[in-house]
């Protein structure tokens, strides 16, 4: 039975904002913006930059809200998500669907009219990949949900690239690859110290299905692959020496954390690794941007 509906003036819009996962979406949009700047040698048109950024933000926010709606019963079982309005029943499914539809629809319209059709279609595919393919099909079905579903999470820099150039090139796919390989060690670190909650919710996350030791080893191995993947922009000529030094330094820290997770595990280490993984991705793309505009620093 549907729970009572709160009037908009009593906090539904604020609850919906929380469902949009603004901090997660901020990182998504950040990598998309970096993709825009890396796609051209000069500066990006301010109008295009704002239009693409806002459009991608709105669609990503709508996808996050739909994710919370689909997982409301699971969220109620987990400490980090049980305060969401969907889990508590203080915002109705109809309200979430309506607000997500308006938010995502506005984003799609903005991308189509002010950016280009390719970006709009790629963003729609990303929405479907996350909100439907990952959330509905993969997450409850396979411990490889993060690996396969990571494709949708890795799309933002490709969206940014397409927004500026109207095409998807090999360099754009290198940016995709970096985030795609980053996703498993990032989420598996979280899954390790939240394993009991995932088990209680019946989700087949890797630590639940294959155990801690197997997961810890794979975090370390994926981190090594990530460090290698992060150097591919240097090999392709997209980035230079400044980025190479930054990527190696950031990768060394991530590898040290992953080694600790593998060989000297504790929940505290896993928490620190998860937190660092977020900083790692943000700093890696930031260094890539600095290298793009100021290669003469070295």
Q: How far apart are CA 278 and CA 47, in angstroms?
A: 29
**pTM attached to this predicted model:** 0.91
Where does the pLDDT of residue 4 fall: very low under 50, low under 70, confident under 90, or very high at 90 and above? very low
Where does the pLDDT of residue 7 fall: very low under 50, low under 70, confident under 90, or very high at 90 and above? very low
Q: How far apart are CA 158 and CA 34, in angstroms?
A: 10
Q: How far apart are CA 162 and CA 183, in angstroms?
A: 22
User: For 258-285, what is the mean pLDDT?
Assistant: 97
DSSP H helices, the chain, are: 12-19, 22-38, 46-70, 72-75, 85-88, 93-114, 117-128, 145-153, 156-165, 170-193, 195-201, 206-210, 212-230, 232-236, 241-263, 267-293
Q: Minimal CA–CA distance to 97: which of 134, 67, 136, 140?
A: 67
- Contact status, residue 246 vs residue 273, Cβ threshold 8 Å: no
If you compute the radius of gyration of the chain from its CA atoms, what whole number of angstroms results?
A: 19
Least confident stretch, 52-56, 92-96, 106-110? 92-96
Give the pLDDT confidence score for residue 73 in this predicted structure.
85
Give the distance from CA 229 to its chain's centroid: 17
User: For 65-91, what is the mean pLDDT?
Assistant: 86
Q: How far apart are CA 146 and CA 144, in angstroms?
A: 5
Give the pLDDT confidence of 195-240 residue by residue, as tens digits. 988 888 888 999 999 999 999 999 999 999 999 999 999 999 999 9
Instruction: Collect all residues with Cβ–Cβ distance below 8 Å to 150 and sequence separation of at least 6.
Output: 179, 180, 183, 184
Least confident stretch, 140-154, 167-181, 210-224? 140-154
């Amino acid at each position: 039975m549907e729970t009572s509906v709160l009037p908009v003036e009593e906090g539904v819009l604020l609850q919906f904002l929380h469902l949009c996962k603004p901090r997660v979406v901020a990182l998504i949009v950040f990598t998309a913006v970096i993709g825009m700047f890396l796609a051209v040698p000069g500066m990006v048109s301010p109008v295009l930059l704002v239009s693409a950024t806002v459009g991608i933000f709105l669609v990503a926010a709508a996808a996050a809200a739909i994710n919370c709606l689909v997982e409301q019963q699971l969220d109620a079982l987990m400490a980090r998500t049980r305060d969401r309005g969907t889990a508590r029943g203080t915002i109705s499914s109809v309200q979430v669907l309506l607000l997500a539809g308006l938010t995502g629809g506005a984003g799609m319209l903005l991308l189509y009219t002010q950016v280009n059709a390719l970006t709009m279609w790629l963003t729609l595919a990303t929405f479907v990949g996350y909100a439907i393919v990952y959330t509905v099909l993969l997450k409850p079905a396979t411990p490889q949900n993060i690996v396969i579903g990571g494709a949708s999470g890795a799309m933002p820099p490709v969206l940014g690239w397409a927004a500026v150039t109207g095409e998807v090139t090999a360099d754009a796919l290198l940016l995709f690859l970096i985030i795609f390989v980053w996703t498993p060690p990032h989420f598996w670190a979280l899954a390790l110290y939240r394993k009991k909650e995932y088990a209680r919710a019946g989700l087949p996350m890797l630590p639940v299905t294959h155990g801690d030791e197997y997961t810890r080893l794979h975090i370390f191995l994926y981190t090594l692959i990530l460090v290698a993947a992060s150097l591919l922009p240097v090999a392709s000529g997209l980035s230079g020496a400044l980025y190479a030094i930054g990527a190696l330094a950031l990768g060394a820290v991530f590898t040290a954390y992953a080694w600790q997770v593998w060989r000297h595990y504790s929940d505290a280490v896993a928490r620190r690794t998860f937190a660092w993984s977020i900083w790692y991705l943000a700093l890696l793309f930031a260094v890539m941007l600095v290298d793009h505009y100021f290669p003469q620093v070295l």
